Amino acid sequence: MELLQGYEAQLLQGALTTLQLAACALLVGTALGSVCCWLQLSGIRPLQAVGNAYVAIARGVPDLLIVFAVFFGGPLTLATLSGRHVEIDTFAAGVVALALSFGAYAAEIARGALLSVPAPQREAARMLGLSRAQALGTVVLPQAARAALPPFGNQSIVLLKQTSIVSIVGCDELMRKAAEAAGATRQPFTMYLAAACIYLALTALLTLCLGWGERRSLPLAAR
């Protein structure tokens, strides 16, 4: 008898959905975090208040509650605005919920990285005749990106593992597929152990890619 009793394809399909979920949430969350970082550093108090409030709420509320809020509250909000019944796809709800959580951490990472660039370097760039945009693109951002890469990579790994909570609303990612296989075979230990091995392989691969990216950034930062 095969160890996984023919559920290998189902688990691999779940792993693919997990990767797609994490990738989409990473892109949306990074964009959201960038906007939030701009709000926090804008120097305009109302905008700063909005950015700080979002970060405080998203970091202070458990991710599971954010998933529930998006999945159950999203259709209610859209139905109220549109005047008709609206259903939200579980994958889309998962992407939005994970992105909301990831965006708050991405904003703090970006803000800290930008503030870590010494002020004299900004001033030197302006004295050389560079515009604010040129100074930002050639002096500030390269150094900030190098400082942000390690914590951003760590948070990306956390995001990959956090995709498992979306199974609670029925998204067919790896954890959901493992639960279905466990129920059908009555071998929960085997199926969840297989899922754990897949998660470990995915995070190990992502860690290797991030390590390569960090090594590549060293020569660039030294130029």
- Torsion angle, alpha carbons of 14, 19, 23, 29, to 10: 60
Give the integer Cα–Cα distance in Å for 73 and 75. Answer: 6
Calculate ∠ Cα 212-215-217, nearest 5°: 110
Q: Count Cβ atoms within 10 A of the Cβ of residue 218 and give its class: 0-12 exposed, 13-18 middle, 19 or more buried.
A: exposed
Give the integer Cα–Cα distance in Å for 159 and 206. Answer: 11
Enumerate helices (H) and strands (E) in the chain, giving the number of each: 10, 0
pLDDT, position 222: 47
* Spatial CA neighbour of 103 closest among 154, 21, 35, 20: 35
Q: Which pLDDT tens digit goes with each residue over 86-144?
A: 788 899 999 999 999 999 999 999 999 988 888 777 777 777 767 677 777 777 788 88
Residue 163 has pLDDT above 50, yes or no: yes
Give the integer Cα–Cα distance in Å for 93 and 70. Answer: 6
- Torsion angle, alpha carbons of 11, 13, 16, 21, to 10: -90
Domain positions in the chain are: 19-173
User: Global pTM?
Assistant: 0.89
Residue 1 has pLDDT above 70, yes or no: no
14-28: b (≥16 Cβ within 10 Å) or e: bbebbbebbebbbeb
Give the integer Cα–Cα distance in Å for 37 and 48. Answer: 9
On whether the 19-173 domain is CATH 1.10.3720.10, my answer is: yes
Residue type, 145: A
Q: Which pLDDT tens digit goes with each residue over 20-45?
A: 999 999 999 999 999 999 999 998 99
